[in-house]
Amino acid sequence: MRRSRTASAAWHAVSLLALTATRAPAQSATASTRATLAVPVAIPDSPAGQRFRAWLTAFNTGSRDTLRLFVKQHQAPPPNDTLPADAIVNRQQGLYRQTQGLTLRRIETSTPERITATAQAKLTGAWMAVGMSVSADSTHRVIGMGFRNTLAPPELLPTRPFTERAIRDSLDHVIDRLVRADAFSGVVVVAEDGKPIYQRAVGLADRRWKVPNRIDTRFNIASIGKMFTAVAIAQLVQRHKLSYDDTLANRLPDYPNREIARRITVRQLLAHTSGIAPAFDMDRAFRRGLRTVKAYLPTTEMDSLHFEPGTRLEYSSYGYLLLGAIVERASGRDYYDYIREHIYRPAGMTESDSYELDTDPPNLATGYMDAPRGERRSNIFMLPVKGLPFGMGYATALDLVRFQQALTRYVLLDSAALARVWTGVQRYTEPNSEYGFGFIVSPYNGTRIIGHGGGWVGITNKFDMYPDLGYTVVILSNIDSDPNVLAFRLREWLTAGRAPK
């Protein structure tokens, strides 16, 4: 699941996906690298460069009023007021809370109207790409800004492996800083061959009652749940109950738009390449209290296509809702019962389910979403009453480690089926990543990293598996934070100096 309240990417794309640590462990950088990073970077004296310099100065003050003044004076209004000035400031203030300011490291490209740069977060050392576009007229107003977190260049990594103690100490250092900045609340588990080598819970699961997060707290995992639906489909393909090339028309004969249904395959739904666009607002549907997959399915022909199926990737939670309905039709079982019996139970995931929230299930973390002026508010009214095939169910961090073990030990799928879902199909939005069938495949520093993220208001998660090294990383957070502050840094520490097993 992705957050619904995102701005137009052309005007203010904020994608906080990869913050890393401020102070690398002693073995993680050479003296020459540190010296290189210490050299001040000259910003071109172009219209875009001048605006970028002014913005960076305003941003690094941490002052909302200073940043708002910059936006008011220099930001062009988006078309149709799709992103008011206060919304721009709120988003950038959220970025400041995560970073405590940015240190410019390199200008990547520069033209009179466009500049892109690489910077690092002062709080965590996060590597971030920042872009700005300005108008070609004499006002040179800012017409677009983008922030994309990125991984550290592999050539800056150490050649010796990190010890377990170095990993634990480094994680504690980063988590401590994030907690002091009120930028992380949740659980972090790092396991090797299924056994935790690091586990820590911080923050509050319930702020009203001062209930702390624990290792066994159940967090809303949002889109991490897409992996369960993808595995269910792969199991049914493995059992010859359906085929990846079956069409939506074949598998859901009641789907009303037959023309669309004949053009879309199961394969395309899994890889987000179907192009299908729902006729209804998924967010508003949450508030209807629906409890079955069927209740969400369309009853008219109002669905449409954004593009020709199979031609490109466009992330679609709705496509996974349809896959859940296909699981029900192909298996003859209720979706939720199927997942419990064929995924949770054989994997030993005893603390995971799509709980009905009005039954007040125990030990669930409440999500807290950012609100104006730095406040945080419960996300309860932004959630479905029950999780869905595209996510929004609950799990513990250790249950997700058990899921990884069940996959890699071929408990849930045989080796051929697992290889199929772990094979990239289309380029994805994360750096150097592709999307497979319900799994994101991200090679880094010669190592495969496979998993999924999960985000919604008050929910930010990351699940990474390192099948060639035996590691599993689970980061579950119940605030609007950035899980890749830790996940991307761990990619550096876990791959540095290591060859696949």
Backbone angles phi, psi at 112, to 5 degrees: -55, -35
For the cut 90, the answer to whether the pLDDT of residue 148 exceeds it is: no
412 alpha carbon, distance to own chain's centre: 24
Q: What is the CATH classification number for the domain harbouring 34?
A: 3.10.450.50
3-state secondary structure of 111: strand
For the cut 60, the answer to whether the pLDDT of residue 7 exceeds it is: no
Per-residue pLDDT of 366-401, as tens digits, reads 999 998 777 899 999 999 999 999 999 999 999 999
CB 379 within 8 A of CB 367: yes
Q: Are strands 304-305 and 368-370 parallel, antiparallel or unpaired?
A: unpaired
For the cut 60, the answer to whether the pLDDT of residue 4 exceeds it is: no
Per-residue pLDDT of 394-434, as tens digits, reads 999 999 999 999 999 999 999 999 999 999 999 998 878 99
For the cut 50, the answer to whether the pLDDT of residue 444 exceeds it is: yes
> pLDDT value at position 18?
29
> pLDDT value at position 198?
98
For the cut 90, the answer to whether the pLDDT of residue 108 exceeds it is: yes
> pLDDT value at position 11?
26
For the cut 80, the answer to whether the pLDDT of residue 22 exceeds it is: no
DSSP output for 169-217: HHHHHHHHHHHHTT---EEEEEEETTEEEEEEEESEEETTTTEEP-TT-
Q: Is residue 395 part of a domain?
A: no
> pLDDT value at position 222?
98
Domain range spanning residue 50? 9-150
For the cut 80, the answer to whether the pLDDT of residue 16 exceeds it is: no
Q: Is residue 163 part of a domain?
A: no
Measure the CA angle with vertex 438, ends 472 and 232; round to 5°. Answer: 95
The arithmetic mean of pLDDT across residues 29-53, rounded, is 76
For the cut 80, the answer to whether the pLDDT of residue 31 exceeds it is: no
Nearest to 153 by CA among 441, 499, 500, 492: 492
Burial class (CB in 10 A: 0-12, 13-18, 19+), 80: exposed
Q: Which three-class secondary structure string do you get for 358-403?
A: HHCCCCECCCEEECHHHCEEECHHHCCCCCECCECCEECHHHHHHH
Per-residue pLDDT of 330-349, as tens digits, reads 999 999 999 999 999 999 99
The per-residue b/e assignment along 130-153, b for 16 or more CB within 10 angstroms, e otherwise, is: bbbbbbeeeebbbbbbbbbbbbbe
Q: Is residue 371 part of a domain?
A: no
> pLDDT value at position 284?
75
Farthest CA pair distance, the chain? 66
* Amino acid letter, 9: A
CB 297 within 8 A of CB 329: no
Q: Packing angle between helix 47-61 and helix 64-74, nearest 10 degrees?
A: 160
Per-residue pLDDT of 168-216, as tens digits, reads 999 999 999 999 999 999 999 999 999 999 999 999 999 999 999 999 9
Point out which residues pair with 75 in neighbouring strands: 142
Dihedral sign (CA 225, 226, 229, 234): negative
Report how far apart, in Å, the C-alpha atoms of 298 and of each of 109, 256, 277, 303, 319 are: 46, 7, 11, 8, 12
> pLDDT value at position 19?
28
Cα(65)–Cα(198) distance, integer angstroms: 41
Confidence of residue 167 (pLDDT cuts 50, 70, 90): very high
Quick one: residue 429, left, alpha or beta (phi over 0 = left, psi -120 to 50 = alpha)? Answer: alpha
Choice among 127-131, 199-203, 250-254 with the minimum mean pLDDT: 127-131
* Per-residue DSSP letter, 218: B
> pLDDT value at position 485?
83
The arithmetic mean of pLDDT across residues 14-27, rounded, is 32
* Amino acid letter, 56: L
* Per-residue DSSP letter, 437: S
> pLDDT value at position 371?
87
Confidence of residue 25 (pLDDT cuts 50, 70, 90): very low
Q: Is residue 38 part of a domain?
A: yes
Per-residue pLDDT of 269-309, as tens digits, reads 999 999 999 877 777 778 788 999 999 998 888 899 999 99
Domains: count for the chain: 1
> pLDDT value at position 37?
61
Per-residue pLDDT of 42-100, as tens digits, reads 999 999 999 999 999 999 999 999 999 999 999 998 765 556 788 889 889 889 988 99
Q: Is residue 311 part of a domain?
A: no
> pLDDT value at position 79?
65
